[in-house]
Amino acid sequence: MTDQLLRVEELHTRFDTDRGTVHAVDGASFTVDRGEIVGVLGESGSGKSVTARSICRLEEPGKIANGTITFDGTDLTTASKSTLRQIRGNEISMVFQDPTETLNPVFSVGEQIAESVRIHEANGRQRLLDFLGVPLFRERSAWTDARDRAVELMDQMDIPNPESRLSAFPHEFSGGLRQRAVLAIALASDPTLLIADEPTTALDTTTQADILQRLRSLRDERDVGILLISHDLGVVAQTCDRVVVLYGGQVMESGPVNEVLTAPEHPYTRMLLECSVRNSNPGERVRSVSGTPPDPIGGYEACPFADRCRHATTACREGYIPTTELDSEHRLACVEAPLPADDALAHRQDALTPDGGEQDDST
Amino acid sequence: MVIVLFGVSLLTYAMIFVTPGDPARTILTQQMGGQTPSQEAVEQFRVSEGLDDPFTVQYVRWMGDVLQGDLGQSYYSDQPVTDAIAQRLPNTIILAVASMLVAIAISVPAGIASAVNPGSRIDYTAQFGALVGVSMPNFWLGYLLIIVCSLWLDVFPVAGVGGLEHLVLPAVTLGSGMAAVIARLVRTAMLDVLDAAYIRTAHSKGLRERIVIYKHALRNALVPVVTIVGLQLSYVLNGAVVVEVVFQRPGLGTLLVDAIFARDYPIVQGVTLLIGVIFVLTNLAVDLTYSRLDPRIDLGGEPT
């Protein structure tokens, strides 16, 4: 618990739709420290992305109904717009999932990186005409410097020939290059917290490995705290220090990666592990999970996973599920815990280790 | 493009050819101060102007002249058509540009304001305004403005050309209808763009809301808007005919209307052809603007 950067407590983010109120995030709590990568793991629809966006206060059209998000002493849920802008420009950066969509198609990549540099340096002073590039109002020397910095950043991100690519447009980049450009934009503000929402999902395996390596070196070299959202167990296992397992907008289990992913206590985490391709024996069918995440309209009275859980009892379907602390780090929201050792998980120990993340880190 | 222009010329020529009314008779009646012209005089006029020749002969003769930059002569004055057009064209162009500016100045901010606060009072007001603007006919709005601004308030002159003050009412009349169409379009395009992931990226950079909207969103929303603005130019030229008559502005519109009533075919043909040419050229300009606005649109046709 040293040097806590971000503390999310009892976060509730809701969306009003025609069919009712969707409780996308329903009381999630977790923390991120400096120099630590925390993974948020869950299926689609479990509230991962909304959690990420809520932290940046980009949850619209959703609304934060309850809870606090404390970043470096500031509560972001009550912070003013200009404070939020300052924090986004200087402290928290975000990388979103699909780099095809997250870069503005009509501006050159260099312009978009340089803009981020300018925002960071202008320190809250942003004039419309300057940013629009209106000739007499554009601060030319500042933009030239920002472009130089953009070249450096692109170079650091291993984008080949950064000078010549400065004026290239996003559609002229490959997927991997785009995501590197997005990272360059995110890092232009020299953030202390990086929120990466499925940063590698749209990428091929080689590029994925490279981007993840970059995240790890950010943690090690710049002491950046990283919140890595992923549905991919492998990515989390390889990259993260701690993991938060999210389901139905609630935290099911959280703790150090090597505990949670090797000895999961929550039936949902166990189920995710069983379904991982990595954990299957060759020649054997990969297990699939039956059912889909529940429709989170109206929120949950009890455990959101109860309907799919094979250990579910009436207690699971009724009333509040308390969070128990297995030790200071490892937390669990399940009334049935501790569970009997699951025979389906018998092969998990030997299956996760050969290829699993913990070893990657030490090499 | 050449084919399109050729088609335009053929159509205008053909349409006039089949229009009822005998130019020879009409013109001679007027020249003789209302007396019915003698049959010989009519025949003579037809022969001298080549009106008795078959359609193809007339068309080819006219087309040959047009290609040499000669649109013929007015039946009434001995003024060449090109001169008549050159005299009136600047007035119409000024009116068109001014009304475009009025339209853009009203519609873009209104459309953005609607899109940024959908469902708000601003949005409803703007949308209602757009509905009124679309529904209101030009000539009616023109007269209303004359009554209110010129006769009651006495701020602007009723009619004529001259300084900027003569331009205000016609430009507002013509621009407001267009503004309505463009404002709706800007609203739809902006709503679409504001949902895009790159807008979230722009916010997450810590950019001010205004810069996100006017830089990142507007630029993307402009692509469909430019198309319509380009197409609206034909509307301006149509509208100019009416508005110029209402405000008694000597422009292409009044020239055309007068020529039609007088069966002054060379002028009608010349003006129509010119409008066709302007229309085709505008579309070309729109296509060229596209690739400036959106780098993904490559005129070479490279897939994105």
Q: Do B211 and A128 touch (CB under 8 A)?
A: yes
Q: What are residue A200's DSSP bridge partners?
A: none
- Where does chain B show beta strands of DSSP type E? none
Residues A326 and A232 in one domain: yes
Residues A155 and A206 in one domain: no
Instruction: Tabulate helix, strand, coil % of chain A (nearest 5).
Output: 40, 20, 40
Which run of H or E residues covers position B227? Answer: helix B218-246
Please say if the pLDDT value at position B162 is more than 80.
no
Closest alpha carbon to B291 in B222, B232, B231, B228:
B222
Residues A134 and A274 in one domain: no
Question: Torsion angle of alpha carbons A199, A202, A208, A211, nearest 10°?
Answer: -40
Residue A310's pLDDT band (cuts 50, 70, 90): confident
Residue that finishes a domain, picked among A189, A207, A222: A189
Range among A8-12, A41-45, B282-286 with highest mean pLDDT value: A8-12
Q: What are residue A8's DSSP bridge partners?
A: A30, A69
Please say if the pLDDT value at position A221 is more than 60.
yes
Closest alpha carbon to A107 in B282, B207, B158:
B207
Residues A204 and A306 in one domain: yes
CA dist A313 and A321 (Å) reads: 12
CA dist B121 and B148 (Å) reads: 27
> What is the extent of the structural domain holding A182?
100-189
Q: How many domains does chain A have?
A: 2
Residues A86 and A126 in one domain: no
CA distances from B43 to A6, A167, B51 (A): 97, 71, 9
CA distances from A182 to A53, A293, B209 (A): 16, 30, 20
Lowest mean pLDDT among A30-39, A222-231, B293-302: B293-302
pLDDT of residue A150: 93
Residues A59 and A80 in one domain: yes
Residues A181 and A195 in one domain: no
Residues A28 and A164 in one domain: no
User: Checking phi first, is residue B261 left (phi over 0); if not, alpha (psi -120 to 50) or beta?
Assistant: alpha
pLDDT tens-digit series, residues B102-111: 888 988 899 9
Q: Work out whether the CA dihedral A47, A178, A95, A85 comes out positive or negative.
A: negative
Residue A242's pLDDT band (cuts 50, 70, 90): very high
Residues A144 and A42 in one domain: no
Lowest mean pLDDT among A4-13, A187-196, B233-242: B233-242
Q: Which residues contact B108 (CB under 8 A, 6 or more apart)?
A: B182, B183, B186, B218, B225
**Which residues of chain B make contact with A85, given a CB cutoff of 8 A?**
206-208
Residues A176 and A217 in one domain: no
Interface of A with B in 57-96 (CB under 8 A): 58, 81, 84-90, 93-94, 96
Coil, helix or strand for A47? coil
**Which residues of chain A make contact with B210, given a CB cutoff of 8 A?**
128
User: Checking phi first, is residue B283 left (phi over 0); if not, alpha (psi -120 to 50) or beta?
Assistant: alpha
pLDDT of residue B34: 67
Whichever domain contains A52, its CATH number is: 3.40.50.300
Q: Do B206 and A101 touch (CB under 8 A)?
A: no
pLDDT tens-digit series, residues A39-50: 999 888 888 889
Residue-range domain boundaries for chain B: 2-67, 89-293
Do the bridges between strand A193-197 and strand A242-247 make them parallel or antiparallel, or are there none, so unpaired?
A: unpaired
CA dist A324 and A311 (Å) reads: 17
Write down the H helix ranges in chain A: 48-56, 81-90, 99-102, 109-122, 128-132, 140-156, 162-165, 175-187, 205-222, 233-239, 257-260, 267-275, 314-317, 348-352, 357-362
CA distances from A110 to A113, A169, B199 (A): 5, 8, 17
Q: Residue A5 class from Cβ within 10 Å (0-12 exposed, 13-18 middle, 19+ buried)?
A: buried
pLDDT of residue A152: 92
Q: What are residue A94's DSSP bridge partners?
A: A195
pLDDT over 70, % of chain A:
85
Residues A180 and A197 in one domain: no
Range among A225-234, A310-319, B80-89, B265-274 with highest mean pLDDT value: A225-234
Please say if the pLDDT value at position B46 is more than 80.
no
Residues A259 and A222 in one domain: yes
- Per-residue pLDDT, averaged over B47-70, amounts to 76
pLDDT over 90, % of chain A:
31
- Per-residue pLDDT, averaged over A321-333, amounts to 81
pLDDT of residue B304: 41
CA dist B168 and B94 (Å) reads: 11
Domain B89-293 bears CATH identifier 1.10.3720.10: yes
Contact A178, A99 (CB under 8 A): yes
Residue that finishes a domain, picked among A161, A189, A217: A189
**Which residues of chain A make contact with B216, given a CB cutoff of 8 A?**
104, 107
Supply the DSSP symbol for A297: B
Residue that finishes a domain, picked among A189, A221, A240: A189
Which tokens go with B62?
């006219």
CA distances from B189 to B108, B186, B225 (A): 11, 5, 8
Range among A58-62, A150-154, B44-48, B155-159 with highest mean pLDDT value: A150-154
**Closest residue to B206, CB basis, from A88, A101, A104:** A88
**Which residues of chain B make contact with A189, given a CB cutoff of 8 A?**
205-206
- Gap between the terminal Cα atoms of chain B: 26
Lowest mean pLDDT among A179-188, B39-48, B186-195: B39-48
CA dist A54 and A358 (Å) reads: 30
